[in-house]
């Protein structure tokens, strides 16, 4: 009887669930239901529905207006799209960071209409609309918090449409050249940059000739710079230089590019660009000559990249001794892990890695102990480096980089190192010597407590947990509890620390 009753109840429950699913299914509305309902409505009712909705939806209203404009012809549509684009871009007040996504979506929708005109065969109108849109966006940038770069993306889209429209419409190349030149010269945010390269096929020989004449007339006004100035190159000087470089690249003639670049030899970067251009063109002789010239003109730290370039070219010529001499001087002037890696790389290619490694380590030990060493090419900088209080951080860092963890540990024990390196050493040491790593974690935990931002002790407690686990693993939990108890008493005034310790008690008292 009980089994029959149970079966009956189970069947009743199943039937109830079935009815509930059927009822729920009958109340759900699908896309097909919507289509069916719309098809059943009268045309006038649907029109009224859209009109009512458009009163509350700006985007729908604009789409309906564009639809109506399209029925009246291309000129009316172009005017309406321009109005829609300008309204979408216009800003009353200020658009903050949180408001930028919505603003960008609105402008992007207006640009969709411009793109629709291009697909509809109105390329001539699209050219003008894109130029108007870019100008309006430039004017609006100052009224936005565009930290995520929405405005640049919108301008880029309009400029891409502009190029496509020019490729379809084929406007007068000379007139287009003048317009592009004027746009690029007036650019405030690099809009229309590299026009000569991007529009070369559309401009053709005649258009490019006009563009070049206009650019050369402005270029003649740019002064030659052979030394650093107190001002930065900006405004029209920057833009016309960019144009000349663009045209030189478009020509494919490296000598044209160098003729532009050598008008400004005020920094190591400028020499490097010339040397790099020649190297890219396979003209290694001229690349080396320019780099050597720059290395002489720009001494000290500013010329370091040039000297490395020279060394690379020496190495390419298998002048390994000359290359190593130059890289060794760089290492001595600025001893750090980067310059050590550079020296190691050059020495390895010369099959002299071990010899130069020992020489570098010996030099670092002399500097750290204050013993006199070899003369240095940059005496002032080397003197400053030597006179700083030196621990053995650099040697520790080098040994860790080389995977010589034991040597790094011994070096740190002998001369100390920075806390970040002690932490790396502790992580290495805890695998085989947990009893040696634990004191490091304890010391760093206390340093973290001392220097923590107000109330932020999570990092310190994590270090304490590491120390607790390591000492527990070697049967020294009581020692940790004693040390930890002393630490708690010492910093009993830090209530947030005490609260966090209580919350993590199970991890600290193992």
| Cβ atoms within 10 Å, residue 221 | 9
Find out whether 199 and 163 touch, Cβ atoms under 8 Å.
Answer: yes
pLDDT by residue for the chain (510 residues), tens only, comes to 444 444 444 554 455 555 555 555 567 888 787 788 777 777 676 666 666 665 666 666 666 666 555 555 557 888 989 999 999 999 999 999 999 999 999 999 999 999 999 999 999 999 999 999 999 999 999 999 999 999 999 999 999 999 999 999 999 999 999 999 999 999 989 899 999 999 999 999 999 999 999 999 999 998 888 765 534 455 568 899 999 999 999 889 999 999 999 999 999 999 999 999 999 999 999 999 999 999 999 999 899 999 999 999 999 999 999 999 999 999 999 999 999 999 999 999 999 999 999 999 999 999 887 754 444 444 444 444 444 447 899 999 999 999 999 999 999 999 999 999 999 999 999 989 999 999 999 999 999 999 888 778 899 889 999 998 999 999 998 888 888 888 888 888 888 888 888 887 766 665
Question: Would you give the DSSP letter of residue 94?
Answer: -
Q: Where are the domains of the chain?
A: 48-171, 318-390, 430-508
Of the candidates 295, 399, 409, 413, the residue with the CA atom closest to the CA atom of residue 337: 399
pTM of the model: 0.72
Distance CA 45, CA 216 (A): 65
Distance CA 305, CA 338 (A): 13
Distance CA 490, CA 493 (A): 8
Distance CA 323, CA 308 (A): 8
Distance CA 128, CA 162 (A): 8
Distance CA 457, CA 450 (A): 10
Helix 458-473, helix 434-451: angle, nearest 10: 160
């Amino acid at each position: 009887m009980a089994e029959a009753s149970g079966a009956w109840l189970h069947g009743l429950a199943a039937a109830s669930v079935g009815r509930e699913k059927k009822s729920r299914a009958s109340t759900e509305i699908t896309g097909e239901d919507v289509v069916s309902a719309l098809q059943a409505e009268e045309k006038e009712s649907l029109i009224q529905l859209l009109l009512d909705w458009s009163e509350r939806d700006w985007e729908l209203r604009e789409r309906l207006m564009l639809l109506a404009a399209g029925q009246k012809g291309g000129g009316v549509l172009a005017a309406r799209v321009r109005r829609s684009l300008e309204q979408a871009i216009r800003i009353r007040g200020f658009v903050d960071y949180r408001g930028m996504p919505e603003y960008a979506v609105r402008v992007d929708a207006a640009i969709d209409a411009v793109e629709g005109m291009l697909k509809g065969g109105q390329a001539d109108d699209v050219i003008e609309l894109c130029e108007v849109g870019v100008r309006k966006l430039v004017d609006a940038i100052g009224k936005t918090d565009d930290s995520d770069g929405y405005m640049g993306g919108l301008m880029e889209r309009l400029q891409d449409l502009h190029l496509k429209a020019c490729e379809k419409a084929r406007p007068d190349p000379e007139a287009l050249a003048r317009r592009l030149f004027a746009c690029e010269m007036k650019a405030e945010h690099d809009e229309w940059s590299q026009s000569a390269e991007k529009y070369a096929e559309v401009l053709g020989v005649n258009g490019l000739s006009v563009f070049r004449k206009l650019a050369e007339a402005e270029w003649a006004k740019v002064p030659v710079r052979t030394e650093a100035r107190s001002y930065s190159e900006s405004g029209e000087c920057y833009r016309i230089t960019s144009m000349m470089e663009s045209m030189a690249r478009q020509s494919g003639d490296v000598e044209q590019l160098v003729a532009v670049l050598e008008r400004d030899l005020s920094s190591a970067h400028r020499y490097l660009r010339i040397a790099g251009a020649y190297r890219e063109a396979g003209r290694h002789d001229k690349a080396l000559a320019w780099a050597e010239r720059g290395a002489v003109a720009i001494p000290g730290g500013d010329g370091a990249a040039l000297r490395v370039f020279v060394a690379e070219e020496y190495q390419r010529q298998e002048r390994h001794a000359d290359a190593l001499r130059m890289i060794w001087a760089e290492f001595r002037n600025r001893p750090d892990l980067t310059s050590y890696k550079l020296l190691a790389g050059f020495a390895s290619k010369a099959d002299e890695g071990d010899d130069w490694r020992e020489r570098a380590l010996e030099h670092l030990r002399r500097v750290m102990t204050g013993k006199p060493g070899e003369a240095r090419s940059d005496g002032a900088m080397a003197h400053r480096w030597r006179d700083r209080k030196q621990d053995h951080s650099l040697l520790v860092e080098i040994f860790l980089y080389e995977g010589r963890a034991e040597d790094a540990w011994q070096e740190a024990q002998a001369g100390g190192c920075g806390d970040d390196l002690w932490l790396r050493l502790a992580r290495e040491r805890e695998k085989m010597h947990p009893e040696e790593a634990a004191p490091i974690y304890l010391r760093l935990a206390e340093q973290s407590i001392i220097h923590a931002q107000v109330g932020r002790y999570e990092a310190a407690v994590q270090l304490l947990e590491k120390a607790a686990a390591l000492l527990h693993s070697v049967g020294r939990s009581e020692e940790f509890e004693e040390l930890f108890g002393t630490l708690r008493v010492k910093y009993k005034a830090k209530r947030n620390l005490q609260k966090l310790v209580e919350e993590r008690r199970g991890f600290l008292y193992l």
